[in-house]
Amino acid sequence: MADSASSISPSSKELRSDMTMATNIARAAASAANSNTSGVRLVYSTSSTWPFSPSSSSSSSTNTIDIAVLDSSFNPPSRAHLALLLSPPILARPKRTYDGHLLLFSTQNADKGSGKPGDASLSQRVEMMTLMAKDVERIQSASGYPANVAVGLVDKPLIFAKSTLTWDLLKQQQSHDQHSRAAAASPRLHWVVGFDTLYRVFQLKYYASAPEFEQQCSQFFEKERTTFVCARRDPSSYPQTAADGEEQGGDAKEKARRGEDKLLESEYVAPWVREGSIGMLDIDPEQAKMSSTRIRSLLKDESVGEDGKREQLRGLVPPSLVEYLIESRVYRDDGV
């Protein structure tokens, strides 16, 4: 479905309206960030009771609302992020699309803390996430599916904790929508991730002890019924593959797959693969290569003019982000 993004671009009027809305949302989010609130906080949603809506496809077919969660740094969002969020629900078949989509940003990173110099600010990330959410709405609607999208912020760095906090939010939302047909449905979260993220989740160094890690796995997979949908990594992005000039084409892909299989067959991961709680997803190889680092480098490249950057960005970022990245001058060293 993400391939349709190229043809689903906002009109100039729509884009200006969306950019104004995104700026207002970002300002409010930045102001609220100084408060002592904790947990997941929605800064934008298509419905005040998101994801519970009478128009949700789950209300007429099943008792489960399947939600894709894209938990990323959005620094900036890329076409790879969009493809991942709009990927088919491989662990919620026979559905052809998720019933809801959540873009989630953690203000604390397990490895990087609150960020580093040169990163987009919280306000800028909220603006970009909101614009991407509007693109998701347009793509869903054009494909004949209900648009049920939200943008959220969370103050915890680890996915297991973020899943529990997202569940707390869903319980609050459900209590506010008791009279809706969909309110009787049971949500299920599907964390759509890249391979690097899946790898880090199962590294014990991020947890106080092995028993605590196992307890959190049980909470995540069994009690909350949350899943991981992991995109297969582009073979050229593996350091051991990129450094080996003799391996090309199919050999590189085979080596990359062996690296994935090693993780999936490991002690702590294999049980959840067997339970159907972890699934591997193929996305378009060209989109898989798109990285936020590449986009930031382009925006900082003084040898490329605005028209040249605009042309390249069309193939790298969600449609609504092209003009935003040019006009906001985010990632520019001069800051003007």
- Residues 315-330: tens digit of each pLDDT: 999 999 999 999 999 9
Which pLDDT tens digit goes with each residue over 226-271?
Answer: 999 999 977 766 554 344 444 455 677 788 789 899 999 999 999 9
Which pLDDT tens digit goes with each residue over 130-168?
Answer: 999 999 999 999 999 999 999 999 999 999 999 999 999
What distances in angstroms separate CA 157 from CA 72, 80, 111, 114, 200, one per listed residue?
11, 22, 9, 10, 12
d(CA 181, CA 257): 43
Inform me whether the pLDDT recorded for 191 exceeds 60: yes
d(CA 286, CA 82): 13
User: Where do the structural domains in the chain lie, given as residue ranges?
Assistant: 2-328
What distances in angstroms separate CA 256 from CA 32, 239, 287, one per listed residue?
43, 10, 17
Inform me whether the pLDDT recorded for 307 exceeds 60: yes
CATH superfamily, with its number, for domain 2-328: HUPs (3.40.50.620)
d(CA 102, CA 106): 13
pLDDT number for residue 331: 93
Confidence tier at 33 by pLDDT (50, 70, 90): confident
Which residues lie across from 301 on neighbouring strands?
none
70: left (phi over 0), alpha (psi -120 to 50) or beta: beta
Other beta carbons less than 10 A from residue 124's beta carbon:
22
pLDDT number for residue 185: 81
pLDDT number for residue 215: 98
d(CA 290, CA 283): 11
d(CA 256, CA 305): 36
pLDDT number for residue 149: 98
Query: Across residues 216-225, what is the average pLDDT?
Result: 98
Confidence tier at 111 by pLDDT (50, 70, 90): low
Contact 107, 34 (CB under 8 A): no
Q: Which of the residue ranges 49-63, 83-97, 131-145, 262-276 would you say has the lowest mean pLDDT?
A: 49-63
Confidence tier at 5 by pLDDT (50, 70, 90): low
Inform me whether the pLDDT recorded for 113 exceeds 60: no
